[in-house]
């Protein structure tokens, strides 16, 4: 295909919304430099599981941005004359060639929106605040931190002003192309990703701040992550999402998730924690139900995951506490509770739940407000 035909082809397959992220010509050509961002992980309340096209979600999701589980990334860049991508990735100062194919694929996906990627060679230095192989996915925090760094570089190449709103939107858009859930890690404390008829401004392309009233019960919401299994992920996200393609319950699941998000709108407004719990726990179990009923099928929960869930339910029955749980695509349990219950729930976790964690390990976190330039 000739170059101009290719450009038209690209224009046609992109909606107007995507074209807004293709930059104008760069006016500056710095020789080298570096930028750093720290970006958090997030925990979904309504889960994203199933995608189409280029990292577009089959249903809308919503998450609390976390505060303490973060990735810090420094991106060094140096002008080059050779063609193609050139980069190296370092985790805790050690070269991680294992990460490079994923970053290469990410660069391929975003080069249309960040054309300077082929003009520079990069050194990506990254570290996580949470322990290595703790079973906590670093893709959301890692991909969002890298996207923010790349966008900061782009900002320095252009004299056209970039508003904060546009910067955050494009950062989320880029992060999404690295890892879907990463689109929800740029801002906080509640982020919606995926078009939803009842949420104004929601988009499949990027995450937005939840735009409606949030009751004080949900401020500084606590998330203590119980490290049940520190092993490698049994099912990668890519394989997992693909399982939804011909899943017998896929359509019902996507509808259920969108309905659950609708229910949450009034719950966030009136602060009804009992109803909140019902939605959040059902979402966690529905995500795992999808994995148990796909072909091939997986059980990602461990016996201790179930022990913890039963202990939480018993504690709630005995005390009237509003503590609840959610799960990611793994065995770890996120224990969610309002800030007002911090003391008794932490005591319960230490006394009753820590015994089910690998080496008694858990991470205390809470909802946070997104990435920061460092
Ligand atoms: O962002 P991905 O492609 O790794 O998908 C993550 C999906 C879940 O974490 C299981 C759910 C979610 O919405 O975060």
In the prediction, which pLDDT does 129 show? 96
The pLDDT tens digits for 181-199 are: 999 999 999 999 999 999 9
The pLDDT tens digits for 300-333 are: 999 999 999 999 999 999 999 999 999 999 999 9
Average pLDDT, the chain: 94
Atom of ligand 1 nearest to the CA of 42: 14
Using alpha carbons only, give the angle 48, 49, 53 rounded to the nearest 5 degrees. Answer: 95
Distance from chain centroid for Cα 13: 26
By most ligand atoms within 8 Å of CB, the mutation choice from 49, 258, 332 for ligand 1 is 49
Q: Report the separation in Å between the CA atom of 222 and the middle of ligand 1, taken as the mean of its atom positions.
A: 20
In the prediction, which pLDDT does 8 show? 47
The pLDDT tens digits for 52-92 are: 999 999 999 999 999 999 999 999 999 999 999 999 999 99
Q: Report the separation in Å between the CA atom of 5 and the middle of ligand 1, taken as the mean of its atom positions.
A: 36
- Percent over 90 (pLDDT), the chain: 89
The pLDDT tens digits for 116-152 are: 999 999 999 999 999 876 777 789 999 999 999 999 9
Distances (CA, A) of 186 to 57, 141, 145, 290, 304: 17, 9, 8, 28, 32
* The two structure tokens encoding residue 116: 């300077």
Atom of ligand 1 nearest to the CA of 47: 13
Instruction: Count CA atoms within 13 Å of residue 250 on its CB side.
Output: 17
Q: Report the separation in Å between the CA atom of 288 and the middle of ligand 1, taken as the mean of its atom positions.
A: 12
In the prediction, which pLDDT does 131 show? 80
Say whether pLDDT at 40 is over 60. yes
Q: What residues have CB less than 8 Å from 115, skipping those under 6 apart?
A: 23, 26
Position 16 confidence tier, pLDDT thresholds 50, 70, 90: low
Q: Is 328 in the pocket of ligand 1 (CB under 6 A)?
A: yes
Say whether pLDDT at 4 is over 90. no
Q: Report the separation in Å between the CA atom of 62 and the middle of ligand 1, taken as the mean of its atom positions.
A: 11
Give helix 100-110 / helix 164-178 axis angle, nearest 10°: 130
In the prediction, which pLDDT does 233 show? 73
Say whether pLDDT at 268 is over 70. yes
Say whether pLDDT at 3 is over 60. no
The Cα–Cα gap between 331 and 243 comes to 19
Q: Is 283 in the pocket of ligand 1 (CB under 6 A)?
A: no
The pLDDT tens digits for 329-358 are: 999 999 999 999 999 999 999 999 999 999
Cα dihedral sign for 311, 362, 354, 290?
positive
Q: Is 180 in the pocket of ligand 1 (CB under 6 A)?
A: yes
In the prediction, which pLDDT does 247 show? 97
- Predicted TM-score (pTM) of the model is 0.95
Q: Is 169 in the pocket of ligand 1 (CB under 6 A)?
A: no
β-bridge mates for residue 56, sequence order: 52
Which domains can be identified in the chain, with CATH numbers?
22-210 (3.30.230.10), 221-368 (3.30.70.890)
Distance from chain centroid for Cα 39: 10
Position 6 confidence tier, pLDDT thresholds 50, 70, 90: low
In the prediction, which pLDDT does 312 show? 99
Q: Whose CA is nearest to atom 6 of ligand 1?
A: 181
The pLDDT tens digits for 269-288 are: 999 999 999 999 999 999 99
Say whether pLDDT at 7 is over 70. no
Atom of ligand 1 nearest to the CA of 181: 1
């Amino acid at each position: 295909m000739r170059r101009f035909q290719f450009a038209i082809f690209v224009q046609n397959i992109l909606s107007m919304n995507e074209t807004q992220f293709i930059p104008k010509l760069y006016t500056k050509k710095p020789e080298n430099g570096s930028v750093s961002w720290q970006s958090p992980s997030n925990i979904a309340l309504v889960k994203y599981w199933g995608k189409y096209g280029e990292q577009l979600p089959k249903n809308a999701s919503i998450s609390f941005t976390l505060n303490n589980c973060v990735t810090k990334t420094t991106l060094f860049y140096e002008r080059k004359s050779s063609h193609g991508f050139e980069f190296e990735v370092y985790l805790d100062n050690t070269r991680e060639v294992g990460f490079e194919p994923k970053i290469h694929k990410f660069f391929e996906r975003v080069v249309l929106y960040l054309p300077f990627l082929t003009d520079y060679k990069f050194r990506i230095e990254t570290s996580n605040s949470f322990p290595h192989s703790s079973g906590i996915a670093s893709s959301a925090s890692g991909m969002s931190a890298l996207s923010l760094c790349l966008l900061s570089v782009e900002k320095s190449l252009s004299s056209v002003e970039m508003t904060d709103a546009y910067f955050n939107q494009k950062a989320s858009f880029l992060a999404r192309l690295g890892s879907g859930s990463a689109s929800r890690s740029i801002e906080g404390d509640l982020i919606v990703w995926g078009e939803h008829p009842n949420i104004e401004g929601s988009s499949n392309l990027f995450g937005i701040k939840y735009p409606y009233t949030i009751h004080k019960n949900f401020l500084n919401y606590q998330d203590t992550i119980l490290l049940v299994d520190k092993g490698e992920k049994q099912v990668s996200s890519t394989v997992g999402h693909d399982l939804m393609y011909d899943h017998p319950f896929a359509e019902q699941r996507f509808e259920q998730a969108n309905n659950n998000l609708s229910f949450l709108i009034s719950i966030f407004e009136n602060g009804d924690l009992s109803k909140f719990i019902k939605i959040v726990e059902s979402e966690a179990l529905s995500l795992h139900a999808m994995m148990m009923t796909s072909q091939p099928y997986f059980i990602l929960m461990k016996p201790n995951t179930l022990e913890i869930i039963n202990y939480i339910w018993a504690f709630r029955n005995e005390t009237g506490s509003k503590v609840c749980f959610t799960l990611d695509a793994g065995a770890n349990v996120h224990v969610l509770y309002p800030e007002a219950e911090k003391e008794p729930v932490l005591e319960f976790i230490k006394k009753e739940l820590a015994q089910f964690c690998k080496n008694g390990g858990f991470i205390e976190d809470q909802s946070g407000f997104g990435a920061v330039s460092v």
